[in-house]
């Protein structure tokens, strides 16, 4: 990946005094956040030349580039902490292009296909960017210098993404009868994938205990509080579904993920070792 320029963050070297388990968990955590950003960047990029306005083509392209810029240092850091079978560090390109579907650890929310539905695009962006903004605001104070540096820069981008999605949800939800109906359907479609964002596990618990990560469960109230307030202003209802999809953090993905990776990885896998 040669565009955009990487976030100027130097991965923190793993010192001999760091518990190997903590290093492994830190790499896993960075990989998860990097995968989230990478996969959503791919989804947002698909809207270029397909958005409802020319200006929106540019806006969504910029959001995709922001997310890609976040993914690069996170994947590089993960590769330094999670070496390959030969013991060598893995590059961001290896992690992005040469892993199989079950090796990706992003939440399922970011991989969902929009199927040409702009409402789904902005509904997903609203939820995800609200989550990212809260996550990075807390992670900026982490004891891990690399994660803290990435978060300090990315939180500003997430705030812009959240505002952009908010304006579209308000415009479509409180617009015409048709735009209201379609925006509500879009929110209903993404809602079963929201709770996965807040699921803690052994990795996040161990890192949160030493100040290197944020407990996902602690983000639930502020994130859903913000999203719910936006939906209310947009005259939309918070979905009441009890369906909850998860598993992305452990390599279990939706049918859409395979198609996404086929496009994302096609050139790199067709020309192994090439550079451009």
- Residue pLDDT, tens place only, 134-165: 999 999 999 999 999 999 999 999 999 999 99
Alpha carbons within 13 angstroms on the beta-carbon side of residue 231 total 24
Between the CA of residue 55 and those of 163, 170, 208, what are the distances in Å? 16, 18, 40
Better-scored residue on pLDDT, 253 or 272: 253
pLDDT-derived band at 2 (thresholds 50, 70, 90) equals very low
CA distance 243 to 14: 41
Domains and CATH numbers, the chain: 20-239+250-269 (1.20.1260.10)
pLDDT value at 16 more than 50: no
Looking at per-residue confidence, does 5 or 108 come out higher? 108
51, 52, 90, 98, 232 from 48: Cα distances, Å: 6, 10, 30, 25, 29
User: What is the C-alpha separation between 165 and 189, in angstroms, rounded?
Assistant: 16
The confidence score (pLDDT) of residue 50 equals 92
Report pLDDT for 81.
96
Q: What is the pLDDT of residue 236?
A: 98
| Model pLDDT for residues 52-73, shown as the tens digit of each residue | 989 999 999 999 999 999 999 9
Decide which of 3 and 240 is more confident. Answer: 240
Span 82-86, mean pLDDT? Answer: 92
pLDDT exceeds 60 at position 51: yes
Is the pLDDT assigned to residue 6 strictly greater than 90? no
First to last CA, the chain: 9
Instruction: Report, as an integer, the average pLDDT of 204-229.
Output: 97
- Average pLDDT over the chain reads 93
SS (H, E, C) the chain: CCCCCCCCCCCCCCCCCCCHHHHHHHHHHHHHHHHHHHHHHHHHHCCCCCCCCHHHHHHHHHHHHHHHHHHHHHHHHHHHHCCCCCCCCCCHHHHHHCCCHHHCCCCHHHHCCCCCCHHHHHHHHHHHHHHHHHHHHHHCCCCCHHHHHHHHHHHHHHHHHHHHHHHHHHHHHCCCHHHHHHHHHHHHHHHHHCHHHHCCCHHHHHHHHCCCCCCHHHHHHHHHHHHHHHHHHCCCCCCCCCCCCCCHHHCCCCHHHHHHHHHHHHHHHHCCCCCC
pLDDT band for 242, please (50, 70, 90 cuts): confident
C-beta of residue 42 within 8 angstroms of C-beta of residue 232: no
Of the candidate ranges 15-19, 171-175, 195-199, 217-221, the one whose mean pLDDT is the lowest: 15-19
pLDDT at 265: 96
Residue 41 banded pLDDT, cuts 50, 70, 90: very high
- Widest CA span of the chain, in angstroms? 62
- The confidence score (pLDDT) of residue 9 equals 52
In the predicted structure, residue 218 carries a pLDDT above the cut 90: yes
**Residue 34 near residue 71, CB atoms below 8 Å:** yes
Cβ neighbours around 234 below 10 Å, total:
22
CB neighbourhood size of 14 (10 A): 14
Give the per-residue pLDDT at 275: 78
């Amino acid at each position: 990946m040669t565009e955009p320029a990487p976030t100027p963050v130097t991965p923190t070297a793993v010192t001999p005094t760091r518990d190997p388990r903590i290093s492994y968990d830190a790499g896993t955590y960075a990989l998860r956040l990097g995968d989230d950003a990478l996969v959503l960047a791919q989804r947002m990029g698909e809207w270029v030349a397909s958005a409802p306005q020319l200006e929106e083509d540019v806006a969504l392209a910029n959001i995709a580039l922001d997310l890609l810029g976040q993914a690069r240092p996170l994947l590089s850091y993960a590769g330094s902490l999670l070496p390959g079978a030969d013991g060598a560090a893995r590059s961001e390109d290896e992690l992005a292009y040469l892993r199989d579907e079950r090796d990706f650890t992003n939440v399922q929310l970011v991989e969902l296909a929009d199927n040409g539905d702009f409402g789904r695009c902005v509904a997903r962006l609203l939820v995800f960017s609200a989550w990212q903004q809260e996550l990075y605001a807390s992670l900026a104070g982490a004891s891990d210098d690399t994660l803290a540096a990435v978060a300090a820069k990315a939180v500003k981008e997430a705030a812009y993404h959240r505002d952009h999605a908010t304006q579209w949800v308000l415009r479509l939800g409180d617009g015409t009868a048709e735009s209201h109906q379609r925006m509500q359907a879009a929110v209903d479609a993404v809602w079963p994938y929201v709770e996965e964002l807040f699921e803690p596990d052994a990795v996040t618990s161990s890192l949160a205990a030493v100040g290197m990560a944020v407990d996902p469960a602690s983000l639930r109230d502020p994130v859903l509080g913000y999203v719910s307030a936006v939906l209310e202003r947009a005259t939309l209802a918070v979905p009441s579904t009890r369906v909850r999809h998860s598993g992305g953090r452990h390599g279990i993905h939706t049918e859409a993920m395979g198609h996404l990776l086929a496009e994302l990885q096609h050139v790199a896998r067709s020309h192994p070792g090439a550079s451009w």
